Chains A and B, each alone.
Chain A
């Protein structure tokens, strides 16, 4: 790439000056494509999002605090965050097992299961929502046997947990899986020759380098779960103070034309998901330094 750049610069030095924003290149079309990119991004994403920031700044910190401490809002935020946290933790445990099994063992149906892991990405949330609700309702395939033991899942907080476990699972599996596939066999062999049992090798040699990826998967699943709406509302029961999630409360506030309340909740949720994203980037930067991979 470099020699060509030098050449174009020496052939047309005037051109370089005219486009000082980019490094010199013979490739055409930067102006229109970059212009359209910025225009479309600003129009569709940045302008609407900045409206949210503007409205939130009108509320001010005290206004945001007032919204957040409103009992119903506080309850919804708590429900969303705690259950998302629990769901992401469950996803980390079972996602790790699933990723391990799918990439290291050979058994009938493995390829099919591997493909179906992405189902929560592809299945529309409303479809997942009604089918989970049907499955866990008192006359559903899972709900009915459980009802005999007086266990209720649909229309309780447990229902929210089930839906969020579904939503977050692929994030963990797909983050960890490539790393498990790339584990260097020499590490395991060295550990075994030095006298470690298989369990010790797995626990003390193989899992620790996966920790950053597991944390990233956890954070991605958590961030997605906090904002999830469609797959939750059908199974949740949506009882105020008990099983009402924050995104639903935004809709409730909008229906009451309480724009300030809706903006407040949305701002708090955004602030938290951006902090989570920032945390992911820090984890990955650290992991890059410590393990040489993300």
Chain B
């Protein structure tokens, strides 16, 4: 910084050659802050303003509705099923990919990333094609009275699909970076395989794992497009919070819609806060910041 070493005799310090003129700098800061404020902060502010537009009473009354409570419960249940399953998958995938070498590894990694490049609506659609009335397994399922699409199993499956890569893609690069030396040391000293995982590997990856679980959970609770296709929108039964928000909004029940939405916005803020904290505090233990 040229300012720091400038002689304090009233002569303006010459600008460093690797900096822009102050005017340019402030102009760029203005553009960036204005743009981020307009596109990120305002929408966030609107959620909470609209939720409290008719006071705290109306806000809290929104959560007394049985349909709203059912939606909150369903969202929690779906996340409680989906997140552990995908975390277990992420651990298995990362263990086999990072600790062993075998042919076709990069193909496998690409396939794991696949759900991120599929539109949420298409993610829902593929399950309708498998389990729907006209789908591959439709006749078999209806003959046995099992309902998948337009019921909770369909919602769980669609949510698994859209959150599938989160934990795995967080852990694979991290565990590849860490290599196998520590595990080999533990094994040669007589530790059991699972004991090695629990006492050597897990402590090394815990922050990365938490990071992946956080992102997966936020997405699982907030997923809209995929769930919307398979849910059937049955009030009090197959509506998650985002779907209930849609229904309330379309009925012009704006305060209730935004009250429920503010739960999800709060979850997003907590997720962002923890994410920033993890990136700042344990940057070296979560394999850096990459695109999502």
Residues of A within 8 A of B (CB): 1, 4, 21-23, 25-30, 32-34, 36-37, 40-41, 44-49, 51-52, 55, 94, 97-98, 100-102, 105, 107, 109, 113, 115-135, 140-142, 162, 165-166, 169-171, 174-175, 178, 185, 188-189, 192-193, 198, 202, 220, 223, 226-230, 234, 247-248, 250-251, 254, 257, 259, 262-263, 266, 269-270, 273-274, 277
Asked whether, in the complex, the Cβ of B21 is within 8 Å of the Cβ of A198, the reply is yes
- Known A126-B245, A127-B47; contact A94-B119, beta-carbon cutoff 8 A: no
Q: Measured between alpha carbons, how far is A82 from B82 in the docked complex, in Å?
A: 35
The secondary-structure label for the interface of chain A is helix
Q: Which of B5-13, B58-66, B157-165 contacts A (4 or more CB under 8 A)?
A: B157-165
Closest-CB distance, A158 to chain B (whole angstroms):
14
Query: Contact between A29 and B272 (Cβ–Cβ < 8 Å)?
Result: no
Which of B28, B161, B249, B261 is the one whose CB lies under 8 Å from A45? B161
A residues in contact with B101, CB < 8 Å: 22-23, 25
Contacts of B218 in A (CB 8 A): 122
Take A37-B89, A178-B289, A254-B128 as given contacts and tell me if A116 and B122 are in contact as well, using a CB distance cutoff of 8 Å.
no
Taken together as a complex, chains A and B put the C-alpha atoms of A257 and B92 apart, in Å, by 39
Check if A98 sits within 8 Å of B224, measured CB to CB: no
Q: Which residues of B contact A125 (CB under 8 A)?
A: 120, 222, 224-225, 242
**Contact between chains at A250 and B125 (CB < 8 Å):** yes
Known: A26-B187, A40-B92. 16 other contacts (CB 8 A): A27-B183, A45-B164, A116-B36, A116-B44, A119-B44, A123-B44, A124-B223, A124-B261, A125-B225, A135-B46, A166-B43, A171-B291, A251-B121, A251-B228, A259-B128, A266-B119
Task: Report the Cα distance A41→B157, complex, angstroms.
Answer: 12
User: When the two chains form their complex, are residues A97 and B32 in contact, meaning their CB atoms are under 8 A apart?
Assistant: yes
Tell me, yes or no, whether B142 is within 8 Å of chain A by CB: no
In the complex, chain A residues whose CB is within 8 Å of the CB of B205: none
B122 pairs with A266, CB closer than 8 A: yes
State whether A48 and B119 are in contact (beta carbons under 8 Å apart), knowing that A101-B32, A126-B222 are contacts in the complex. Answer: no
Please, which residues of chain B bring their CB within 8 A of the CB of A254?
125, 128, 229
